[in-house]
Structure 1
Amino acid sequence: MGTGISKSYEVIVIGAGSMGMSAGYHLARRGVKTLLIDAFDPPHAHGSHHGEPRLIRHAYHGGETYIRLAQRADRLWRELEALAGEPLLVRSGVLNLAPEELVSFDERALDAARLGVVTELLDAAEIRKRWPGFAVPEHFRGLYEPDAGYLNSERCVAAYRKLALRAGATLLTNTFVKDVKVTGNAFSFVATKDDVYYADNVIVCAGAWFQTLKPFMHMPVRSVRKCVGWFETAGPEYRAGSFPGFTLGTGEGGYYGFPDIGGAGLKIGRHDGGVEWKPGEPFLPFGDDPEDEGDLRRALESFLPGASGRLIRGAACKYELSPDEHFIIDAHPAYPNVLLAGGFSGHGFKFASAVGEALADLTINRETELDLGMFSYWRFEETRSRIDFQI
């Protein structure tokens, strides 16, 4: 049974999560006839954007490309706030912590300073003085960015959805894309269970579901199950307004977290590790494995002991990891009118506003002002040696 909506568009966006919804908005506001298709009903709990909030930092470990991308994203988040009429970005400050023998923040601070990002390098004593909630050993160092903070991710996606639809985009929810085909390197067919849609251009932001679109595309990404938890805090030192967002590098793993916002508890998650997941397999809820809570609690007990109280709630989400954990933003290897955006590797949300704009630029003009060269599809041996994609 058909949907009753138009079958022909200038652009079809497959996957309307953070990147896809942003791209749909940036296309629609320029008058481009756009169809967004999502397997669920965004914002939702099946991708990488749920379980607010998400950190936004500008002094980034990936060098100047990421810093410039973060700066552009910040401007666009503020623009979205103004258009949506609600607060989306909170400048709590972000403190990056790690043992000095494991991580040096010096180069990151220099890169940031060259591009006008303010940071402070702090020793353990200064960190404990400013934020008594941290129990950091003497060999730890910190990089603090006062103008960084966090984004209310689900509200951001909802705001882009509202504005995209207001600008004329069409959104098809709870609809799985079964297949994509291109004829003559120019015209695309996107098939769902009930219909086929046509477009001059396609943007694929399928997240953890890229593997369902084989053999049309082979994205070198794997999906892993990740867990986050919100824990009761013992005192006001962890509350929003006085406590920063943070990243925590340790010999046992890397963690990130947020202050206690409105009594919801301090949120903490682990960036590395995780159990691989494939579409079609059961996705286990938080708590199925005792380590879902145990791993997070051990980090809190060691470094934020006053925030290691009762678990208030937990959530499981999906990371889609590229081999080097840098993004993939590039044209399909055979079809220049199909853009691929994936491998955001658990640190992409903060950039979604700028990535969506860049995808719109690349679709309309085949170029963008941002330097995206380091996100090439072809940088991996796996992609360079592939000859079995569908043509």
Structure 2
Amino acid sequence: MGMSAGYELSRRGLKTLLIDAFDPPHPNGSHHGEPRLIRHAYSGGPAYVKLALRADELWRELEEATGEKLLERAGVLNIADPDVYSYAGRFQDAADHGVRIEDLDADQIRFRWPDVRIPDHYRAMFEPNAGYLYSEKCVAAYKKLALHSGASLLPNTFVKRIQAERSFVSVFTNTEHFIANHVILSAGAWFKTLEPFVRLPIRSVRKVVGWFEPSVSSFEAGTFPGFTFASSLGSYYGFPDIAGAGVKIGRHETGEEWQPGEDLVPFGAYSEDEGDLRKALEAYMPDAAGKLLKSAVCKYEHTPDDHFIIDTHPEHSNVILAGGFSGHGFKFASVVGEILANQIELGHWGRDVGLFSAARFSPISP
């Protein structure tokens, strides 16, 4: 979100400084271990659908500006046990906004993707124009364009303290002191390091993903889509085998609490790291449940209601908060950057962000 906003601000001619505790793209946030799903028939109502469609436009513009392939329209197959979860609420939103979707029964799913094994009562919502983003390439693309547009980047620099006045904001690092008219805080799972200046109800959790070797070629990218499963086993998401990396799968709703500064426990420290992922593949895509080829550990940043926080600080209107993207935010990074830049340059968001008001949580400051 920060790199996207940095590009938007710098290309509009605003003097922009980007400060990162690491050197993006990096493995200390929530963007590494490509790729990330992008869907448009989104849960959460029309606000998310509109954002997803605008985000898609901006990702395409980023591709054109860089000449990089960043978005693969592989489609996304969302499979669910109707006794556990239903996609029915999304159909009207999709129709209202021109999003193409297909409502499939189990026989239709098995006919089109024979290596998917599901019970007869399962259903799916297939979105053919959805797909996935190469997340690290996206961050690198924004970084390149932001620097080319005149932004400055201060990597490997930890923000120690922030102090806001009516007309300016001071940011203190270990060695330097910066003053700006406006500041955007998009610290991801590291927001607690900014307390007590701002307190957000963000819970950071450790997440794991794995890449498994398929035994058949039908899971290869270009043939198999991105996917999600929602059943009594849990909520899972995944990707086809891209260039021999294996079928990638992760679980959405679990995770161990993590505090900024703590070591991130490596993959395999808990039996369920591989076990939870493998059991879903064995249940629904057994021919993809081969040898574990690769693994990664990253972070989610949850809000209590899993909606984002996009708002100004309750006491300082020149400080903008962007956080709590809750494990489903990356696809929106392009449009969130635009929204944040609008607020600074134009004095308004340019989009309806009422759903993401920090005021729904109280208190968020001392």
Match runs of 1:161-240 below 5 Å: 161-183=143-165, 185-240=166-221
Letter aligned with residue 10 of structure 2: A
Select 2:246's aligned residue among 251, 259, 265: 265
Partner of 1:63: 45
- Paired with 1:29 and 1:260, the residues of 2 have a C-alpha distance of 36
| 1:99 maps to 2:97 | no
| 8 Å Cα contact 1:105/1:121 also seen in 2 | no
TM-score with structure 1 length normalisation? 0.92
Match runs of 1:22-33 below 5 Å:
22-33=4-15
- What is the rounded CA distance, in whole Å, between the counterparts of 1:362 and 1:268 in structure 2? 36
Instruction: Give, as a single letter, the amino acid of the residue that structure 2 aligns with 1:244.
Output: P
SS in 2 for 1:178: strand
What CA distance in whole angstroms lies between the structure 1 residues aligned with 2:136 and 2:5? 16
What are the ranges of 5 or more consecutive residues in structure 2 without an aligned counterpart?
none
Instruction: Return the match for 1:246 from 227, 230, 235.
Output: 227
- 1:296 positional shift: 0.3
Q: Choose which of 301, 309, 325 in structure 1 pairs with 2:290.
A: 309
Deviations, residues 16-61 of structure 1 (Å, cap 9, x unaligned): xxx0000000000000000000000000001000000000000001
- Does the 8 Å CA contact 2:343/2:350 hold for their aligned counterparts? no
Q: Deviations over 1:117-172 (max 9, x none)?
A: 00000001110110112111112110000000000000000000000000000000
**Other structure's SS at 1:77 match:** helix
Equivalent position amino acid for 1:369 in 2? G
Q: 2:110: which partner in 1? A: 128
- Inter-partner Cα distance in structure 2 for 1:146 and 1:368: 30
User: How far off is 1:368 after superposition?
Assistant: 2.4
1:148 is aligned to 130
In 2, the alpha carbon distance for the partners of 1:96 and 1:332 equals 37
Shift of 1:286: 1.1
Distance of 1:282 and 1:20 partners within structure 2? 24
One-letter identity of the residue aligned with 1:376: S
CA contact (8 A) 1:122 1:142 kept: yes
Task: After TM superposition, give the deviation of residue 377 of structure 1 in Å.
Answer: 0.1
Is 1:37 aligned to 2:19, yes or no? yes
Q: Which amino acid aligns with 2:83?
A: E
Aligned partner of 1:13 in structure 2 is: none
> Deviation at 1:109?
1.3
Q: How does 1:14-29 map to 2 (within 5 A)?
A: 19-29=1-11
Aligned to 1:361: 342
- The answer to whether structure 1 residue 158 and structure 2 residue 140 are counterparts is yes
1:252 positional shift: 2.5
Distance in 1, Cα, partners of 2:38 & 2:130: 6
The 1-side partners of 2:230 and 2:167 are apart by 47
Q: Which amino acid in structure 2 is aligned with residue 146 of structure 1?
A: P
SS at match of 1:323: coil
Partner SS, residue 296 of structure 1: helix
Secondary structure at 1:160 match in 2: helix
1:284-323 alignment, distance < 5 Å: 284-323=265-304
**2 CA distance for matches of 1:247 and 1:179?**
40
The answer to whether the 8 Å contact 2:10/2:150 transfers is yes
**Cα-to-partner distance string for 1:167-202 (whole Å, 9 max, x where unaligned):** 00000000000000012x221000000000000000
Which whole-Å CA distance do the structure 1 matches of 2:115 and 2:287 have between them? 6
What residue in structure 2 maps to residue 370 of structure 1? 351
Q: Unaligned stretches of 5+ in structure 1?
A: 1-18
Question: Which position in structure 2 is the counterpart of 1:113?
Answer: 95
Which residue identity is paired with 1:263? G
| Structure 2 SS opposite 1:281 | coil
Take 1:217 and 1:257, find their aligned partners in 2: how far apart are those partners? 34
Shift of 1:253: 1.1
The percentage of counterpart residues that share the same residue type is: 60
> 4+ runs of 1 displaced by more than 3 Å?
none
CA apart distance, 1:300 = 0.5
CA distance in 2, matches of 1:125, 1:368: 45
Aligned to 1:330: 311
SS class of match (1:234): coil
Alignment RMSD (CA, Å): 0.8
Read off the aligned partner of 2:289 and give its amino acid letter: S
Distance 2:70 2:81 in 1: 32
Please say if residues 17 and 152 of structure 2, whose CA atoms lie closer than 8 Å, have aligned partners that are also in contact: yes
1:139 to 121, 128, 133: 121
Aligned equivalents of 1:368, 1:178: Cα separation in 2: 28
Q: Which string of whole-angstrom CA distances, capped at 9 and with x for unpartnered residues, describes residues 354-373 of structure 1?
A: 00000000111121221111
